[in-house]
Amino acid sequence: MVDLVDMANEVAELRLNEALERQRREGNVSAVSAEFCEDCDDAIPEPRRLALPGVQTCVECQGLREVRRA
């Protein structure tokens, strides 16, 4: 039987994940994207900079950052 604390934690996690996804989608549209990756200094392609305003890393370096955080 699921108790109220477990249900509340599930709801809180769901809302947090929704808020994080919304932030990823909408982001800060006025943020300035870097032209070069702050980790490897490779150029960040324009489609990536336009899709993710404020982006500071290339796809490869961002992937490495996410793997390290996991």
Give 63's pLDDT tier (boundaries 50, 70, 90).
very high
Provide the pLDDT for residue 61: 96
Its pTM stands at: 0.58
Provide the pLDDT for residue 23: 75
pLDDT digits (tens, 9 = 90+) for 23-56: 777 766 678 899 999 999 999 999 999 888 889 9
* Residue 57, φ and ψ in degrees, nearest 5: -135, 155
Provide the pLDDT for residue 1: 55
Residues 6+ apart with CB under 8 A from 12: none
Q: What average pLDDT score do residues 5-31 get?
A: 82
- Extents of the domains making up the chain: 1-28, 31-70
